[in-house]
Structure 1
Amino acid sequence: MRRRGTVAAVAVLLAGLFTSVQPAAASDNGLSIRPAMGWSSWSFVRRWPDETKMKAQADALVSSGLATHGYVYINLDDFYQKCDSNGFQVDGFGRWAVDTAKFPSGIKALADYVHAKGLKFGFYVTPGIAKNAVTANKPIEGTSYHAQDIADTSQTHKNYNCKNMYRLNYSHPGAQLFINSWANQMASWGVDYLKIDGVDATTVADVEAWDKALRQTGRPINFALSNNLPIAQATTWKRLANSWRTQGDVECYCGPGSNGSGFPLTDWSHVSSRFNSAASWQQYAGPGGWNDYDSLEVGNGDQVGLTADQRRTHMTHWAMISSPLLLGTDLTALTSTDLAMLTNDRLIAVDQDGVAAQRIVNSGVNQVWRKRESNGDYIVALYNTGTSGNSTVSVTWSQVGFTGPADVTNLWSGGSEGTVASSYSATLRPGETRLIRARPATASPHYEAEDATISQGVVESNHAGYSGSGFVNYDNIVGSYVEWNVNATAAGNANVTLKYANGTAVNRPMTITANGTTLTRDFPGTGNWDTWATATFTLPLVAGANTIRMTATTANGGPNADYVDVSAPTPVGTEYQAEDATISQGVAESNHTGFTGTGFVNYDNLVGSYVEFAVNTAAAGARTLTIRYANGTAVNRPMEVTVNGTTVTTQSFPATTNWDTWVDGTIPVNLQTGANTIRLTATTAGGGPNVDRITLG
């Protein structure tokens, strides 16, 4: 029997997307199937929000035309509350009191004003209960409990305004009921988006309580977490919320006003620092849950603290990594240049395709990021992240994920760049970007699931959005599978993309096998059974006939499977196992899963520990060096890469969630004919990451 659940309907139909490995199912509240877009008060209005300013920004969001391009949220951040010497003043039930001098008509009236313009209203809170509520022992609305019953006065929460927030004792039933009452109040006001700030590893219980509280209101409220959340709990944030801030504030706090307010709002270092963060967090983004890299500071020209090139790069990168696009600038003073950036629908579509890009080149100031969209196109962004000097940034199509020529379109200008044979280069000014769409001339082979071998499943057509004549509905048992027969023109690694749907709130993992390689991948909820997503993974193929089998590993069976696309295989480069290399101050181990060969190298935790590979090449020239590594800490472990005694670069090796998760980092190198040495040396006291192997492409 095939059981198919339902979840709340979503406003946007997900036509299909490419996702990386999803380590946990996304929030199943049916919201934020695409990243949120709108405006937030913190960057520009900062500590002085009021009713008049909020209405003016809402008016400008509409009159500028931004709303028609998808920017629909007007979010009120901190400092709307009223404080005294003991912290937040509270209402009769212990919840924060709104400062009536700032908001004389009240929050509901403001939300009604925003809604009347066809927009959505966002609000702000932090964990805990106010000291004043506990001191006065305020009752919990609708219950016999009081604030002193539920407060843990021995501990306080992080708060950026009035401070004095006690932690809640969630072992007492009144604690959840207090949060419910607060959420109900917000829902009655018409809140559509709630940011809970001050979240960290110690506040998981608070996030869980707010998630429950928002759900029980019956009102769809987009749930956002802030800020600088630890990546070690990434799967928790993904399960509970619709977005989560991966770093501290993008604002520089370097303006002339109090607390660094006023222009400039940010600077290049605060924006460019998001590149490494995005590489680390990429795997957690997907429908229903997004990595939030903070406000988009585009709108008011150079005075925001970024040049025009840097602002275009800022928007390009937020779109590539599918971050929420929440503007922080003054919408009442938009420049024509910046408005043109913000309303470029080609850029907005890159953000809203719901695919978080991967970094494939990271060499000095040069970076290249890529993502594959559901129609088979590749979106590629080339960056010069430096602050001085032009730089030529290059990438091959094989690095991007396909072979053969491609038709290239410049997405900022919309102009065609014609057919490009096998690689792409751009000479970029400091802080400049080039964003292109590459459409391979030869489409990837396409294999429908209904034409494959099906074990314990059935072909159906009762959900919209599939291709071909139907899709496969797996039986709800362990071991049900679909097996495709595919052909490859040559041996090598191929990108295999599965289009799938999972209308439940439960992850449906499967094993994927081909030619002796077995992968395990998660297939989280996609919102409903008519909403399709794509997942791409790399499998080794032999020349000629191959079989690819996808097998359910739980009693829920697999997701609905529509088809697989298979890219042309890329010849596998020469591999060198780390355990066979020269190891200085480290050890070969095998106590974590997923390595290749017989093990991996665990660096000693000190500066200067290294692994040195002896490699041979038939001819001198450029090569792509791929380093397969794992970093189970929350801290970057950079290494110096030297070739034949010459330093090539110092490469970042950011966190990979845990020590069983392996990823590839690529570096362009030049080798001489015959013998070469490649040394990877730790540059910090944390040592290097675990290294599995290197590959020379």
Structure 2
Amino acid sequence: MKTWHVLLSMVCVVVMTATVSLVNIGGPSVARAADNGLSITPAMGWSSWSFVRRNPTAATIVAQANAMKSSGLTDRGYIYVNVDDFFQKCDGNGFMVDEFGRWAVDTAKFPGGIKPVADKVHANGQKFGLYVTPGIPKNAVLQNTRIEGTNYRARDIADTTRYHKNYNCKNMYYIDYSKPGAQAFVDSWARLYASWGVDYLKIDGVTVDTPDDIKAWATALKNTGRPINYALSNNLNISGAALYKKYANSWRTQGDIECYCPPGGGGSGGPSYPLTSWAKVSSRFGSAATWQPHAGPGGWNDLDSIQIGNGANDGITTDQRRSHYTLWAMAAAPLLLGSDLTNLDPVDLTILKNPRLIAVNQDGVAAKRIYNGPGGVQQVWSKRERNGDYIVALFNTGTSGDQTVSTTWTAVGITSDRANVTDLWSGRNVGVVDKSYSATLRPGETRLIRAVPE
């Protein structure tokens, strides 16, 4: 068994290396998104919001990072450990601040601050992510804190007539970027995060109508000199796709995937389980199809977290979990897990570690939906990899009744009548198939194949 695990790990490394190479050599040239040189393939890792929710602590985050490593997920490419909201401290006026007007860390949750946690994540060979929202805290304005490295103060740059969108502590004023010191304030915040060892930043609450904040943070992160993956959130309007692509490495195309259920215990502070629902997951098919043209090396359509890992507590069936993962793989969406990695279900772990599915996600190509049947129950997605292979996914998104889903090689884009087919979930070679392919699928089931034209 030990030998088999070593061999499988070697196979995965080869697959992943080859996949990254495909993005950079051969095939048509692909326009890159944000010019920070990061996220040439979609980010992979874990985020705290879905399971940990409002209670991140140093011990909890380190435990999740260690579990991601010991489970073998880090060896498969899951490297980001991202702390979402509630690492900060708030009072009646919103976020409490340090002497330069930036969010103060809740030392009851993180006694040594953020840097020791980031250091432990880095010691695992992983990368560390953190969270922010746009604007300047009300407490910074009330205290008129100095902007680090300047003689300007918070009141010099705050637009106190408007509050930014903020989901929890609120009370974030807009920044007036026409004022001297505005960019310097964002720069100082980015420098602080960089000094803690941040490798990934999620900025939550930006919209197509807040381009100045998106640009300012992109500039600030670049000015740190530290490579920091830049993610925009959430439920962004597609009209701003060119803006997001110019400055960021990913952008959330919809609202939260968490179900926040059962009713009465939901909301952002409700129980973590179940993590999601099939309605939440399946709603991503439409947005993945609509946003598909905007994905590419350096910038990806973020469908939100992968809610797989805790078995029945995921809130979706095993078939639905495979469809969930298949869609994210086909869409080349970031693979950021939302589950409790310290309590991994063995079946879910095989889903998350499947090297063939990871390779499909990391090939740097976002698939197109080539068939969408009545009600979206039957769907077919296809993409051509840069080595000439075609990846085809068939879905039954319904919740009752088997469906026979079919496609032709012509519809897929294959000009030959014959293609050699491999089932990517099982790894089984099906053999040469003439002209068309079909599968009878259970409710929520998927079939994913690699078709190599003969």
Scaled to the shorter chain, the TM-score interval is over 0.9
> What residue number does 1:304 align with?
314
Deviations 1:138-183 (A, max 9, x none): 0000100000000000001000111000000000120100000000
Deviations 1:312-332 (A, max 9, x none): 000001000000000000000
Normalised to the residue count of structure 2, the TM-score between the two structures is 0.93
CA distance in 1 between counterparts of 2:89 and 2:366 reads: 39
Aligned partner (choices 85, 88, 91) of residue 81 of structure 1 = 88
Is 1:417 matched with 2:430?
yes
CA distance in 1 between counterparts of 2:27 and 2:164 reads: 38
CA distance in 1 between counterparts of 2:380 and 2:312 reads: 25
Aligned partner (choices 20, 31, 52) of residue 38 of structure 2 = 31
Counterpart mapping for 1:492-531 below 5 A = none
1:430 maps to amino acid: P
> What residue number does 1:376 align with?
388
Normalised to the residue count of structure 1, the TM-score between the two structures is 0.61
Alignment partner of 2:51: what SS? helix
Is 1:45 matched with 2:52?
yes
Distance of aligned partners of 1:19 and 1:427 in 2 relative to their CA distance in 1, 3 Å threshold: farther
Alignment partner of 1:178: what SS? helix
Is 1:121 matched with 2:133?
no
1:388 maps to amino acid: S
Instruction: Quote how far apart the aligned CAs of 1:260 are.
Output: 3.0
Alignment partner of 2:358: what SS? helix
Contact 1:411 1:435 in 2 (8 A): yes
Is 1:192 matched with 2:202?
no
Contact 1:360 1:369 in 2 (8 A): yes
Aligned partner (choices 378, 399, 422) of residue 411 of structure 2 = 399
CA distance in 2 between counterparts of 1:112 and 1:127 reads: 26
Contact 1:17 1:373 in 2 (8 A): no
Counterpart mapping for 1:193-232 below 5 A = 193-232=200-239
Contact 2:251 2:300 in 1 (8 A): yes
Distance of aligned partners of 1:111 and 1:17 in 2 relative to their CA distance in 1, 3 Å threshold: farther
Alignment partner of 2:66: what SS? helix
1:113 maps to amino acid: K
Alignment partner of 1:414: what SS? coil
The structure having more radius of gyration, on CA atoms, is 1
CA distance in 1 between counterparts of 2:408 and 2:312 reads: 34
Structure 2 residues without counterparts, runs of 5 or longer: 1-19
CA distance in 1 between counterparts of 2:26 and 2:97 reads: 45
> What residue number does 2:399 align with?
387
Instruction: Quote how far apart the aligned CAs of 1:198 are.
Output: 0.3
Deviations 1:69-91 (A, max 9, x none): 00000000001110000100000
Instruction: Quote how far apart the aligned CAs of 1:124 are.
Output: 0.2
1:372 maps to amino acid: R
Contact 1:18 1:372 in 2 (8 A): no
> What residue number does 1:339 align with?
349
Count of aligned pairs between the two proteins:
429
Contact 2:420 2:432 in 1 (8 A): yes
Aligned partner (choices 101, 105, 113) of residue 112 of structure 2 = 105
CA distance in 2 between counterparts of 1:319 and 1:212 reads: 30
Contact 2:30 2:296 in 1 (8 A): no
Instruction: Quote how far apart the aligned CAs of 1:17 are.
Output: 7.3
> What residue number does 1:475 align with?
none
Alignment partner of 2:181: what SS? helix
Contact 2:27 2:387 in 1 (8 A): no
Contact 1:17 1:354 in 2 (8 A): no
CA distance in 2 between counterparts of 1:233 and 1:374 reads: 28
Is 1:427 matched with 2:440?
yes
Instruction: Quote how far apart the aligned CAs of 1:261 are.
Output: 2.5
Structure with bigger strand share is 1
Aligned partner (choices 294, 297, 300) of residue 287 of structure 1 = 297
Structure with bigger helix share is 2
Deviations 1:625-667 (A, max 9, x none): xxxxxxxxxxxxxxxxxxxxxxxxxxxxxxxxxxxxxxxxxxx
Alignment partner of 1:152: what SS? strand
Contact 2:365 2:383 in 1 (8 A): yes
CA distance in 2 between counterparts of 1:145 and 1:186 reads: 21
Aligned partner (choices 337, 356, 362) of residue 372 of structure 2 = 362
Deviations 1:191-249 (A, max 9, x none): 00000000112211000000000000000000000000000010100000000000001
Deviations 1:436-461 (A, max 9, x none): 000000xxxxxxxxxxxxxxxxxxxx
> What residue number does 2:170 align with?
163
Alignment partner of 1:381: what SS? strand
Is 1:327 matched with 2:340?
no
Structure 1 residues without counterparts, runs of 5 or longer: 1-11, 442-697
Counterpart mapping for 1:474-489 below 5 A = none
> What residue number does 1:581 align with?
none
CA distance in 2 between counterparts of 1:20 and 1:420 reads: 31
CA distance in 1 between counterparts of 2:288 and 2:100 reads: 41
Distance of aligned partners of 1:20 and 1:161 in 2 relative to their CA distance in 1, 3 Å threshold: farther
Is 1:440 matched with 2:453?
yes
CA distance in 1 between counterparts of 2:304 and 2:40 reads: 18
CA distance in 2 between counterparts of 1:17 and 1:318 reads: 24
